[in-house]
Amino acid sequence: MSNILDKIFLDKKVELVTVKRKLSVQDIKTKIANSIFKVRDVKKLLQSNAGSSIIAEVKLRTPFKGDLLKNADPINIAKTYADNGAVALSILTESTHFGGSLEILEKARMHVDIPLLRKDFIFDDYQVYEAKAFGADFFLLIATWLDKNHLADLLLLGDELGLPALVETHNEKDMEKAVEAGASILGINNRDLTTGKTDLDISRRLVPMALQVAGSLIICESGIHSRGEIDEFEELGAHSFLVGESLMTSEDIGKKLKEFIGDRKISAKN
């Protein structure tokens, strides 16, 4: 086991065996057929804002920093994000290392009316069906860990279910793989998931590369701490920003979110 990312995926594989015994694929498909949830047009909504587009993340802890906010109510946080202008929410559903769950995703879906990203370590068709069944509007795929054909297969299944995937990249090789697999929502993660280290130069290198892909939606992830950084990456061409720790650890989550969104977004909504 070479790094924390490998460990998380290995743990997820072990966990999934038990999950499938409790709820079969057919059970999941039945849940989808009976679902009252309607999938939102993620790409349209993320690009329709007059100002900055922030995907606010509900993340209770990380394997790198431990608890981010003790005794937190994830649903109240989700509602705070939605009430203060987030264009979408990212919901961590990995339990062992991040303290999330599919139940949080499903409850959030019942309380907010903006797109929800299922953020997890997805490698199996079953998990894509789960995302749909529990109320996600799009789901995360990590290019660093998945090979091109595997990535393409999961993207195709998502398309069949009406769920686009945010394909997360961290370097040029990841970006090439994501594009070749057919991804159109391209995430650029400034955090190295094998070490936890964050470097904004990752986005400075990869945003111009992603812009060469016609019709792509570019999402800058991790390491955003100020409005000035958002301004910089918008100038480079980023369309949206996924922000978690800076919000979860702030004294006033709603105020911090509005700072990231900026006056342009707030005035556009009024």
- Count of domains in the chain? 1
Structure pTM? 0.93
pLDDT digits (tens, 9 = 90+) for 18-58: 999 999 999 999 999 999 888 999 988 888 665 689 999 99
Q: Which residue has tokens 């019942």?
A: 110
Beta bridge partners of 187: 168, 219
- In the predicted structure, residue 153 carries a pLDDT above the cut 90: yes
Helices 125-133 and 4-22 pack at an angle, to 10 degrees, of 70
- In the predicted structure, residue 267 carries a pLDDT above the cut 70: no
**For the domain that residue 153 is a member of, what is the CATH number?**
3.20.20.70
Catalytic residue numbers? Answer: 57, 59, 119, 168, 189, 221-222
Nearest to 46 by CA among 181, 138, 120: 138
Q: Which residue has tokens 């019709």?
A: 215
Mean pLDDT of 140-152: 96
Which residue would you say has higher pLDDT here, 3 or 171?
Answer: 171
Nearest to 266 by CA among 2, 53, 16: 53
At residue 265, the pLDDT reads: 41
DSSP 65: T
- The boundaries of the domain holding residue 150 are 4-269
pLDDT digits (tens, 9 = 90+) for 55-93: 999 999 888 888 887 788 999 999 999 999 999 999 999
